[in-house]
Structure 1
C-alpha cells in the first residue's frame, strides 16, 4: 500500500468517525473564512468546519493527485484540546482518528 493509499484510508476512517459523532454535517465556511492567518482558522471556523473543509479536503486532494505530503502533521493535540468538554468516548475516537492521519502523513 502506498503512502497515498494509506492516507486515503485514514481519511475515510476520520470522515466515518466524524459522521458517527455528528461532527461532519457542518455549515460550509464563507470564502473569507479560508483567508484566516490563524492556526486551524480558529478565528473564522469551528474545529469541525476546519477538519472537514480544510484538513480533510486538502489532504484528500494531495492523496488523489499523489502529490508530496507535508513533512509532518500534528493536529491531534489541537483536536484533543478542542474536545476537552466533549464526552470521553467522543474525545477519544475523534482524537485517535486524527492521530492516525497525523501518523500516516508523518511516516510517509
Structure 2
C-alpha cells in the first residue's frame, strides 16, 4: 500500500471540515450540467469550493478507496490562492491542507 494514502485521507477530511467551518459547504449539489464541465476546475460552471466539494473530494476518495494510482502531480493550492486572493488569511487552514495534498501527490513515494 502506498504510504501516502493515510495522510491524503486525513487531508481530505481536513479540507471538508474547513469548508464547513468557513460556510463554504453546500447542502445541495450543483446541476448535472455544471458538474459535467470540461474546463479545468469546472471554472466556467462552479465556484472553486463547489469544485472541491462535488468533484475533487469525491474523486480523491474514490481513488484512495479503490487503490487506483494517484495523479502524478497536483496544483490545487496555487489555484485556490488565485481564486481566494482577497481572503488568504481567512482561508489559511484550507490552503495548508490543499498544499499538503499537492505535496503528497507530487512526492510520488
Same fold (TM over 0.5): yes
* Number of the residue aligned with 1:76: 77
Shifted more, 60-69 versus 11-20: the winner is 11-20
* Number of residue pairs matched by the alignment: 107
Deviates most, 63-72 or 3-12: 3-12
Structure 1 residue aligned with 2:23: 22
Which residue matches 2:96? 96
Residue 44 of structure 1 aligns to a residue whose secondary structure is: coil
Q: What's the offset of the Cα at 1:26?
A: 5.2
Q: Deviations over 1:27-54 (max 9, x none)?
A: 4111111221211101110111001011
Matched, 1:3 2:4: yes
Cα RMSD (Å): 1.6
Structure 1 counterpart SS, 2:101:
helix
| 5+ residue gaps, structure 1 | none
Alpha-carbon separation, structure 1, partners of 2:5 and 2:28: 28
Gap runs ≥5 in structure 2: none
Runs of 4 or more above 4 Å deviation: none
What is the CA–CA distance in structure 2 between the aligned matches of 1:48 and 1:35, rounded to whole Å?
16
Cα-to-partner distance string for 1:31-85 (whole Å, 9 max, x where unaligned):
1112212111011101110010111110011011111000000110110111112
- Contact persistence 1:4–1:63 (CA under 8 A): yes
Scaled by the length of structure 1, the TM-score of the pair is 0.88
